[in-house]
């Protein structure tokens, strides 16, 4: 029995050893070793592709969290914001007579819901440019609203200082009704094409060799200009090697990587290529097998089967999973991209193509701008180039195109700049490209659009493309961009003098036109002599006043040539970080000054009427104004609660925008704030009257600063005698302050920040604006330095005093001319305290004097 047991154990051991030997032979066989090495190698590649292809949006291994890191983007945004903040300190480009810019950059901007990006676009374009590069770049900014003040950026300081020219629509063009209709209906596709083509035409007028058209939500890389110029030179060199008949339409500065992946319409080509690779390798292995010895064939055959059945297919799958931009990246430099380019964030056009391109545009189509451009390029056979890596990033998260695009328009981008958290184009999967390289919505996207209530254009609109040939009449197309309020110099020389006119008492008196005013301004405008309107008036937004004055004077005016007393307040939104501070705005009719402040960018504005409506006990003598205040008063952000100061209304700054209407209420509230603790209404500072403190303790406890916009004691109204102006209110405030505190005699000074004429800050602001406006008139450069400015006014204490005492930082001579049509009245034996260069009868006589003084030859104002 024992022997039998041992035999069974021995047999079992032998079986185990035989099985182990078999397994060892299998595992160590060439086919098994081959498969093992392949598996390890495949897993190694698979793992590494998680890092190699993480930034490739066409890859299975794409990692949005890693791809959209904001490292470089934040750096460029910070540089752009610094450029905007320092706009008033940047040097203006000085171009010599006849100097033409190399590149005109056109940016059309409309208000978006939420964040506005146009400032970052402009800032990133200008940040880091050398002096020479800035001279070579002419920046055209179009505020694409029939009411420009609707754009949140309209009143920002950089708009006046950074662009070379700011374009607006004119009110008197036949096209304005159509533009208003597009705005009202929300059909922004047509309007976008309209804005694009007119801005392109205006850039063409500058004479620039190249024209860049950028969207208002892009961010430029550092050194974009030199890189773009280098790429354009490469395009020019490459085109010389091609047929003379071949033309190119643009150099693309931005492209979307996710649309440069494996396109579904190319699957037959991909399948064929995969089959050819499989068949070639498999066929080669079969041929090799036939050449091998029979004993080697038995080893090679399993390896060949594994290679053909597993290795080649899995590597082909991995190839496509890696992403097209990983395995077949676009080479750096310039490349032809006649298909699959997206979108219209940035193109540079050669000047020579513009007339023919504009002749092919169609405002009746429902295409988007990039679709229209691609359609025309395909139709005409024009080559399209791209520079790699891209020079722009798309940072906008909200579209301006209307009809369903707002929800879907998310930024797309590529490697040179990392996108922010909103940068992932989640809807890219619903967009494909047709054979012509144009976007087409997938059925899913179309059904979603209809379900979402979007209004789609009728098919007959798109069919216009097929029936409309290009006109090939560039001159006709270029003649269409008259709607913008700019004009170009056609004279051989540029005047080295300009005018600044007061309004009330010089051009108009109350609402009546002063004789010679319209004739004089039209003469200057038709002869391209720059002028600016500078008034101590206000109370309404600049755009509204300009519209009214244009009609009454019969002269085309825009806000680039107009300054009111409170216009410089707009700068404080940024320079003093007052955007979200609670400010009290005093003066003007109803709530109009609140509207002006909000259009300037202040977001937390209250008026004395708001306070009185909520707390009529603050001034018991305004009962007769109760119904007046109820028409425009708004709820206060906090009540007046002296028992709990932390919960009480706190004012951070006081602004007198215009002449107060209810002097008693306004004086009382301003005094309450000047005597308060930290601007909290209903409190009284314990430091007031403390003689051990500076200013006897007054204004030493965080009280809000007081800004006044106009110091005119008198102004010319419709009454035959001058009337008290805002300066009269200042005097009343000073008197009450002195009575309460003891005034300067007791060491208690009332500190006010006063702007308007005759103060230096207003003249500096106006001179900058005049120079900016002058540059915009002469788009080909060529404006010699401005030497003289003739200030024409009717008030010796503001107009004449301001011009006489102003020392221009640009070395410009200011010459004062006093008219007899306003405040100043000649009386026997009396002379103005501030003497002008000349006293004249009216504005026409002032212009005639200045023309003669400047040796103006012809024509003559008679």
> What would the DSSP string read from start to end of 794-846?
S-IIIIIHHHHH---TT-PEEEEEEESSSS----TT---SS--SEEESSHHHH
3 state DSSP class of 170: coil
Cα separation, 680 vs 642, whole angstroms:
8
Q: Which of the four pLDDT bands, split at 50, 70 and 90, describes residue 859? A: confident
Look at residue 23 in the predicted model and tell me its pLDDT: 63
More reliable by pLDDT, 520 or 16: 520
Look at residue 506 in the predicted model and tell me its pLDDT: 95
- What is the 3 state secondary structure string of 728-748? HHHHHHHHHHHHHHCCHHHCC
Is the predicted pLDDT of residue 205 greater than 90, yes or no?
A: no
Look at residue 209 in the predicted model and tell me its pLDDT: 92
Helices 30-52 and 312-322, interaxial angle, to 10°?
0
Residue range 516-527: average pLDDT? Answer: 92
Classify domain 497-565+758-853 by CATH number.
Answer: 3.40.50.1000
How many CA atoms, within 13 angstroms, populate the side-chain half-sphere of residue 64? 10
Q: Which of the four pLDDT bands, split at 50, 70 and 90, describes residue 780? A: low
Look at residue 136 in the predicted model and tell me its pLDDT: 92
More reliable by pLDDT, 141 or 446: 141
Look at residue 477 in the predicted model and tell me its pLDDT: 39
55-64, 273-282, 673-682: range with lowest mean pLDDT:
55-64
Q: What is the pLDDT of residues 729-773, one digit of tens each?
A: 999 999 999 999 999 999 999 999 999 999 999 999 999 999 988
User: Distance from CA of residue 817 to its chain's centroid?
Assistant: 39
- 73-91+99-258+333-396+406-413+425-478 placed in CATH 3.90.550.10: yes
More reliable by pLDDT, 679 or 714: 679
3 state DSSP class of 598: helix
Is the predicted pLDDT of residue 818 greater than 90, yes or no?
A: yes
Classify domain 571-754 by CATH number.
Answer: 3.40.50.1000
Q: Which of the four pLDDT bands, split at 50, 70 and 90, describes residue 243? A: confident
Residue range 408-433: average pLDDT? Answer: 34
Residue range 404-409: average pLDDT? Answer: 36
Mean pLDDT rounded to a whole number for the chain: 81
Taking residue 34's Cβ as centre, other Cβ atoms within 10 Å add up to 17
245-259, 393-407, 639-653: range with lowest mean pLDDT:
393-407
Look at residue 16 in the predicted model and tell me its pLDDT: 66
Is the predicted pLDDT of residue 568 greater than 70, yes or no?
A: yes
Contacts of residues 21-29 at CB distance under 8 Å and 24 or more positions apart, as own/partner, are 29/299, 29/302
Residue range 835-841: average pLDDT? Answer: 95
Q: Which of the four pLDDT bands, split at 50, 70 and 90, describes residue 493? A: low
Is the predicted pLDDT of residue 174 greater than 50, yes or no?
A: yes
Cα dihedral: 396, 398, 403, 404 (round 10): 100
Q: What is the pLDDT of residues 259-302, one digit of tens each?
A: 666 777 777 888 888 889 888 988 888 888 888 777 777 777 88
More reliable by pLDDT, 631 or 28: 631
In degrees and rounded to multiples of 5, residue 604 shows phi and psi of -130, 85
Q: Which of the four pLDDT bands, split at 50, 70 and 90, describes residue 226? A: very high
Q: What is each CA distance from 706 to 31, 411, 739, 778, in whole angstroms? A: 89, 43, 19, 40
Is the predicted pLDDT of residue 550 greater than 70, yes or no?
A: yes
Kindly state the tokens that stand for 752: 């006010």
Helices 118-126 and 71-85, interaxial angle, to 10°?
90
Cα separation, 4 vs 10, whole angstroms:
10
Q: Which of the four pLDDT bands, split at 50, 70 and 90, describes residue 673? A: very high
Look at residue 184 in the predicted model and tell me its pLDDT: 73
Look at residue 498 in the predicted model and tell me its pLDDT: 96
Look at residue 547 in the predicted model and tell me its pLDDT: 86
Residue range 474-494: average pLDDT? Answer: 41
Quick check: 227 and 221 in contact, CB under 8 A? yes
Taking residue 229's Cβ as centre, other Cβ atoms within 10 Å add up to 17
The residue among 589, 750, 604 whose CA lies nearest residue 658 is: 589
Quick check: 303 and 30 in contact, CB under 8 A? yes
More reliable by pLDDT, 284 or 96: 284
């Amino acid at each position: 029995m024992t022997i039998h047991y041992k035999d069974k154990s021995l047999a079992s051991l032998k079986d185990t050893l035989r099985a182990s030997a078999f397994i060892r032979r299998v595992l160590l066989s060439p086919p098994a070793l081959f498969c093992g090495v392949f598996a390890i190698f495949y897993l190694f590649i698979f793992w590494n592709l998680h890092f190699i292809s993480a930034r490739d949006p066409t890859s299975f291994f794409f990692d949005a969290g890693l791809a959209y890191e904001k490292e470089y983007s934040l750096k460029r945004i910070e540089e752009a914001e610094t450029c905007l903040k320092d706009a008033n300190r940047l040097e203006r480009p000085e171009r010599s007579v006849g100097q033409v810019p190399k590149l005109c950059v056109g940016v059309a901007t409309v208000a978006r819901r939420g964040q506005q990006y146009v400032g970052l676009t402009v800032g990133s374009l200008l940040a880091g440019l050398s002096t020479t590069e800035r001279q070579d770049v002419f920046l055209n900014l179009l505020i694409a609203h029939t009411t420009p003040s609707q754009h949140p950026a309209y009143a920002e300081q950089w708009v006046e200082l950074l662009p070379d020219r700011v374009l607006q629509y004119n009110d008197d063009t036949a096209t304005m009704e159509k533009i208003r209709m597009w705005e009202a209906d929300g059909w922004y596709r047509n309007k976008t094409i309209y804005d694009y083509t007119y801005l392109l035409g205006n850039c063409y007028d500058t004479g620039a060799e190249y024209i860049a058209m950028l969207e208002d939500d892009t961010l430029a890389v550092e050194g974009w200009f030199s890189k773009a110029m280098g790429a354009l030179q490469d395009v020019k060199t490459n085109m010389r090697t091609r047929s003379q008949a071949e033309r190119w339409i643009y150099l693309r500065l931005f492209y979307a990587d996710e649309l440069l992946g494996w396109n579904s319409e190319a699957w037959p080509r991909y399948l064929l290529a995969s089959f050819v690779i499989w068949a070639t390798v498999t066929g080669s292995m079969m041929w090799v097998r036939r050449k091998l010895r029979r004993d080697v064939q038995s080893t090679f055959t399993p390896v060949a089967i594994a290679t053909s059945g597993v290795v080649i297919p899995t590597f082909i799958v991995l190839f496509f999973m890696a992403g097209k931009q990983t395995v077949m990246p676009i080479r750096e430099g310039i490349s032809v991209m006649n298909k699959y380019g997206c979108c219209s964030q940035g193109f540079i056009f050669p000047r020579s193509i513009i007339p023919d391109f504009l002749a092919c545009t169609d405002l009746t189509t429902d295409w988007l701008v990039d679709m229209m451009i691609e359609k025309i390029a395909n139709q005409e056979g024009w080559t399209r180039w791209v520079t790699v890596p891209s020079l722009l990033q798309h940072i906008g998260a909200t579209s301006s195109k209307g009809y369903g695009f707002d929800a879907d328009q998310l930024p797309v981008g590529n490697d040179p700049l990392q996108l922010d958290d909103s940068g992932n184009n989640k809807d890219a999967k619903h967009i494909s490209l047709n054979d012509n390289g144009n976007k087409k919505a997938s059925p899913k996207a179309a059904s979603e659009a209809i379900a979402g209530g979007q209004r789609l254009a009728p098919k007959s609109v798109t069919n216009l493309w097929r029936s409309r040939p290009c006109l090939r009449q560039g001159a006709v197309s270029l003649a269409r961009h008259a709607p913008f309020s700019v004009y170009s110099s056609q004279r051989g020389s540029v005047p080295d003098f300009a005018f600044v006119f007061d309004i009330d008492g010089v051009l108009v008196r109350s609402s009546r036109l002063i004789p010679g005013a319209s004739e004089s301004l039209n003469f200057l405008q038709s002869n391209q002599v720059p002028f600016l309107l500078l008034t101590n008036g206000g109370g309404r937004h600049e755009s509204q006043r300009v519209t009214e004055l244009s009609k009454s004077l019969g002269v085309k005016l825009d806000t680039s040539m107009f300054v009111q007393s409170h216009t410089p307040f707009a700068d404080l939104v940024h320079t003093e970080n007052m955007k979200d501070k609670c400010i009290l705005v005093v003066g003007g009719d109803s709530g109009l000054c609140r509207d002006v402040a909000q259009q300037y960018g202040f977001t937390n504005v209250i008026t004395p009427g708001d306070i009185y409506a909520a707390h009529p006990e603050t001034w018991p003598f305004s009962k007769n104004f109760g119904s007046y205040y109820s028409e425009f008063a708004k709820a206060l952000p906090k009540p007046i609660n002296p028992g709990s100061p932390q919960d009480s209304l706190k004012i951070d700054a006081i602004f007198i925008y215009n002449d107060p209407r209810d002097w008693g209420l306004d004086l009382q509230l301003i005094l309450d704030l000047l005597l308060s603790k930290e601007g909290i209404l209903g409190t009284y500072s314990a430091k007031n009257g403390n003689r051990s403190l500076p200013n006897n303790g007054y204004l030493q406890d965080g009280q809000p600063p007081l800004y006044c916009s106009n110091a005119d004691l008198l102004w010319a109204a419709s009454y035959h005698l001058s009337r008290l102006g805002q300066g009269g209110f200042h005097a009343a405030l000073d008197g009450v302050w002195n009575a309460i505190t003891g005034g300067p005699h007791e060491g208690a000074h009332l500190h006010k920040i006063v702007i308007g004429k005759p103060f230096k800050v207003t003249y500096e602001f106006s001179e900058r604006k005049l120079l900016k406006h002058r540059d915009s008139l002469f788009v080909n450069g060529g404006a010699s330095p401005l030497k003289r400015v003739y200030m024409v006014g009717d008030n010796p204490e503001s107009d004449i005093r301001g011009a006489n005492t102003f020392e221009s930082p640009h070395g410009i001579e200011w010459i004062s001319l006093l008219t007899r049509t306003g405040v100043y009245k000649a009386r026997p034996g009396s002379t103005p305290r501030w003497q002008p260069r000349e006293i004249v009868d009216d504005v026409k006589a002032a212009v005639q004097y200045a023309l003669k003084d400047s040796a103006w030859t012809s024509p003559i104002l008679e």
